[in-house]
Amino acid sequence: MNRLKEHRTALVLLAVSLVFLLTGTLLRGEHEVVLEKAIRICLECIGIG
């Protein structure tokens, strides 16, 4: 019980994080934007422009 009390803020944040992750992936498909960007060489990142 003490452990739960000690970490209650973190546990609330973890619960919110799961809701956000599910919203971002299942409802909005944001992970596809990330994938699309990450599988092409990012010219800005490597300094080409």
Partner 1 sequence: MDKKKHGAKTHHTTQKKRHAIQLVWALLTNSYLTGFLYGKIYTGKLKQLCVPGLNCYSCPGALGSCPIGALQAVLGSRNFKFSFYLAGFFLLIGALMGRFVCGFLCPFGLIQELLHKIPFFKKIRYVPGEKVLVKLKYLILLIFVILLPLYAVDILGQGSPWFCKLICPAGTLEGGLPLVFLNEALQNTIGFLYAWKNAILILTILASILIYRPFCKFICPLGAIYSFFNRVAIFRHRVDPKRCTECRLCAHICPMNVNPAKNPNSAECIRCGACIKACPAQALSHTFTKRTEISSHTTSSAPLPPSSNGY
Regarding 1 and contact with partner 1 (CB under 8 A), the answer is: no
List 1, 4, 5, 19, residue binding partner 1 (CB under 8 A)? 19
Regarding 39 and contact with partner 1 (CB under 8 A), the answer is: yes
Task: Kindly tell me which of 1 and 44 has the beta carbon lying closer to partner 1.
Answer: 44
What is the helix, strand, coil percentage profile of the chain, to 5? 80, 0, 20
Q: Closest separation between CB of residue 4 and partner 1, Å?
A: 11
- CA angle (14 as vertex; 9, 20 as ends), nearest 5: 125
